[in-house]
């Protein structure tokens, strides 16, 4: 072929329009040549797999065209609106992303439910009736309910967090079986609620609404709660994972001396740490992880600055015996080991009630000069459980008056068998004669029958 003839032969022919294509302008698809216009009109890129396919073979889903393979394997018919949709991170449960926004998957049964059916804990209405355990720090669906309900900042309310663990597995999740029994003894979480806690193996944290000491001792269903926990195999003291935390509102200490009163409380815990360790029933290892001393006198700082640092400094955390960081509206006493024994629980409540009232009426200078004997001699006679518990734990012995035990002694005392705490006979409150500086305005009769050993 001569040069004159060759110049009229095109480099390529478009498979679709048959027009000539200059070398470099051709587009190859499936081994065939296409011009730019024909390629754009005939082919598209699948937005899911990025394959180039004929437009005539594509299927439209949610406004976009997809290849047959993606259409067949990755698109579905929505169970809710019957519109076809492509799977994505926003679609689940055989439901398009638009409908998924209005639905949730029940944590209990795994079913797909409309948001109107949610109990705000991720359970459908049916499962919520049998599952009363909230997620950690989810809180009561009722909000705070004070008992008695005539709230006043001058009233000392106590909130309890009692951890229970090692629920015995029976037919299914025994925690849920126990939660159903707990739900039967109260009206819609107006007295307490249940929460999960990652520090527990198979446990429930029982959290009370704020109640006065009188209400806790005479009206709150602590006996029913501890009985239900025991009947479902739960432990608290023996579980090694459980604590008993008691809150009281910082508003109770309101006034110009509030910061001094908070420092006085911390000072009592630091000064009488050995005695309070015995009271707590915790081991040194448990204390070092969950209920620590501050070990800082914060010298040359005002009470206000001391409280601010203890409440906000990264040097401290919520795992202090006196926790000021987690709940800014309350002071949390984390000292105590968990218990299912009523008299032990009540003694801890009475101790916190006594200390809160004590620091409110005594200046820090007075507290700094006290001995342990001075402190316990000022416990009013109406704190029956507290008096008996101090006797049972040997904390009224003369050795605690002005001396400090060693860490080894404390470890030995706190590592006791539960049988040591099983003596729960009646005692004669009249034989106790403390110096009474204030009296709670209620009377209480000590139970006549001994209760089970702590568990």
How confident is the model over 403-449, as pLDDT tens digits?
A: 433 333 333 323 332 323 333 333 333 333 333 334 444 444 444 44
Q: Which of 322, 328, 329 is nearest to 351 (CA)?
A: 322
pLDDT of 50 > 80? The answer is yes
Integer Cα distance of 221 and 407 in angstroms: 37
pLDDT confidence of residue 257 = 82
What count of other Cβ atoms lies within 10 Å of the Cβ of residue 119? 16
Indicate whether 174 pLDDT > 80.
Answer: no
Q: Which residues pair with 192 in a beta bridge?
A: 208
Residue 76 tokens read as 């579905």
pLDDT at 452: 55
pLDDT, position 224: 95
Q: How many other CB atoms are found less than 10 A from the CB of residue 67?
A: 21
Residue 358, judged by CB atoms within 10 A of its CB (0-12, 13-18, 19+), counts as buried
Specify the range with the lowest mean pLDDT, choosing from 137-151, 155-169, 189-203, 436-450. Answer: 436-450
Highest mean pLDDT of the ranges 66-70, 76-80, 199-203: 66-70
Give alpha helix (H) positions in 101-205: 125-130, 174-183
Is residue 119 predicted with pLDDT exceeding 90? no
Count Cβ atoms within 10 A of the Cβ of residue 63 and give its class: 0-12 exposed, 13-18 middle, 19 or more buried: exposed
Look at residue 69 and tell me whether its pLDDT is greater than 80: yes
**φ/ψ (deg, to 5) at 179:** -65, -35
Cβ–Cβ under 8 Å, residues 118 and 97: no
Looking at mean pLDDT, say which of 145-154, 251-260, 360-369, 383-392 comes out highest.
383-392
Residue 284 is predicted with a pLDDT of: 78
Whether 133 has a pLDDT exceeding 50, the answer reads yes
d(CA 334, CA 119): 31
Give the separation between CA 101 and CA 90, rounded to whole angstroms: 8
Q: Is the pLDDT of residue 114 over 60?
A: yes
| 280 touches 242 (CB < 8 A) | no
Is pLDDT above 90 for 356? yes
- Residue 250: phi and psi, rounded to 5, are -65, -20
166-180 burial, b at 16+ Cβ within 10 Å, e below that, comes to bbeeeeeebbbbbbe
Q: Give all domains of the chain, ordered by start, each with its CATH number.
A: 3-45 (no CATH), 133-431 (3.30.590)
Mean pLDDT of the chain: 76
What is the tens place of the pLDDT at every residue in 52-64? 999 999 999 988 9
Tens digit of each residue's pLDDT (9 = 90 or more) over 342-355:
999 999 999 999 99
Q: What angle do CA 184, 187, 193 make, to 5 degrees?
A: 80
Q: Which one, of 328, 347, 330, lies nearest residue 279 by Cα?
A: 347
Whether 199 shows a pLDDT value over 90: the answer reads no
Query: How sure is the predictor about 389, in pLDDT bands with cuts at 50, 70 and 90?
Result: very high
Tokens of 99: 């409908």
In this predicted model, which residue has the larger pLDDT, 176 or 162?
162
> How many whole angstroms separate alpha carbon 332 and alpha carbon 1?
100
In sequence order, what E strands does 32-123 have? 32-34, 43-45, 52-54, 59-61, 64-66, 75-77, 84-86, 103-105, 112-114
Q: What is the pLDDT of residue 86?
A: 84
CA distance 291 to 323: 9
Work out the pLDDT band at 393, boundaries 50, 70, 90: very high
With a cut of 80, say whether residue 10 has pLDDT above it: no
pLDDT at 200 over 70: yes
How far, in Å, CA of 288 to CA of 277, rounded? 11
Mean pLDDT calculated for residue range 358-375: 88
Q: From residue 381, how far is each of 132, 388, 391 by CA, in Å?
A: 39, 11, 13
Degrees, nearest 5: CA angle 311-335-376 = 105
Buried b (16+ CB within 10 A) or exposed e, 141-162: eeeebbbeeeeeeeebbbbbbb
pTM of the model: 0.63
Element (H, E) at 13: strand 12-13
Alpha-carbon span 191 to 203, nearest angstrom: 20
Q: Is the pLDDT of residue 104 over 90?
A: no
pLDDT for res 307? 62
Contact 19, 27 (CB under 8 A): no
The number of beta carbons lying within 10 Å of the beta carbon of residue 287 is 23
**CA dist., res. 321 & res. 303, Å (int):** 19
Q: Is the pLDDT of residue 334 over 80?
A: yes
| Percent of the chain surpassing pLDDT 90 | 28
Per-residue confidence (pLDDT) for residue 437, from 0 to 100: 39
By the 8 A CB rule, do 242 and 200 touch?
A: yes
Percent of the chain with pLDDT over 70: 68
Q: How far is CA 385 from CA 341, 388, 391, in A?
A: 12, 5, 10
Higher pLDDT, 274 or 328: 274
Q: How far apart are CA 153 and CA 45, in angstroms?
A: 69
Mean pLDDT of 259-279: 88
The dihedrals phi and psi of 6, each to the nearest 5 degrees, come to: -65, -30
Helices and strands counted in the chain (H then E):
17, 19
């Amino acid at each position: 072929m001569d040069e004159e003839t060759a110049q009229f032969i095109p480099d390529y022919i478009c498979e679709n329009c048959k027009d000539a294509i200059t070398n470099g302008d051709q587009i190859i698809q499936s081994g065939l040549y296409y011009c730019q216009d024909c390629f754009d009109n005939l082919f598209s890129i699948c937005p899911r797999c990025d394959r180039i396919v004929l437009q005539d073979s594509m299927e439209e889903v949610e406004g976009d065209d997809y290849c047959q393979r993606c259409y067949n394997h990755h698109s579905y018919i929505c169970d809710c609106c019957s519109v076809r949709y492509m799977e994505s991170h926003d679609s689940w449960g055989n439901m398009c992303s638009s409908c998924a926004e209005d639905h949730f998957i029940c944590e209990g049964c795994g079913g797909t439910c409309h948001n109107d059916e949610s109990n705000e804990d991720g359970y459908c209405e049916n499962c919520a009736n049998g599952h009363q355990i909230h997620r950690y720090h989810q809180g009561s669906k009722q909000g705070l309910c004070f008992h008695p309900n005539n709230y006043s900042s001058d009233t000392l309310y106590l909130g309890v967090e009692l951890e229970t663990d090692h629920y015995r597995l029976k037919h299914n999740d025994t925690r849920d079986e126990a939660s159903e029994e707990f739900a039967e003894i109260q009206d819609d979480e107006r007295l307490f609620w249940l929460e999960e806690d990652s520090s527990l193996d198979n446990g429930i944290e029982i959290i009370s609404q704020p109640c006065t000491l009188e209400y806790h001792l005479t009206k709150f269903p602590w006996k029913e709660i501890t009985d239900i926990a025991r009947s479902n195999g739960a432990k608290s003291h023996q579980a090694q994972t459980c604590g008993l935390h008691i809150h009281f509102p910082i508003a109770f200490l309101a006034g110009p001396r509030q910061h001094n009163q908070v420092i006085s409380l911390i000072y009592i815990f630091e000064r009488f740490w050995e005695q309070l360790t015995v009271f707590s029933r915790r081991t040194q290892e448990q204390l070092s992880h969950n209920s620590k001393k501050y070990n800082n006198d914060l010298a040359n700082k005002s009470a206000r600055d001391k409280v601010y640092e203890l409440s906000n400094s990264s040097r401290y955390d919520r795992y202090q015996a006196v926790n000021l960081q987690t709940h800014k509206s309350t002071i949390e006493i984390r000292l105590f080991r968990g218990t299912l024994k009523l008299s032990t629980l009540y003694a801890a409540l009475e101790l916190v009630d006594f200390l809160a009232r004590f620091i409110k009426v005594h200046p820090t200078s007075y507290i700094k000069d006290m001995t342990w004997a001075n402190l316990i001699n000022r416990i009013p006679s109406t704190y029956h459980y507290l008096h008996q518990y101090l006797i049972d734990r040997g904390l009224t012995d003369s050795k605690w008056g002005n001396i400090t035990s060693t860490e080894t002694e404390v470890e030995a005392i706190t590592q006791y068998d539960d049988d040591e705490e099983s003596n729960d006979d009646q005692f004669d409150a009249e034989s106790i004669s403390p110096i009474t500086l204030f009296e709670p305005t209620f009377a209480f009769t000590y139970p006549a029958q001994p209760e089970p050993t702590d568990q």
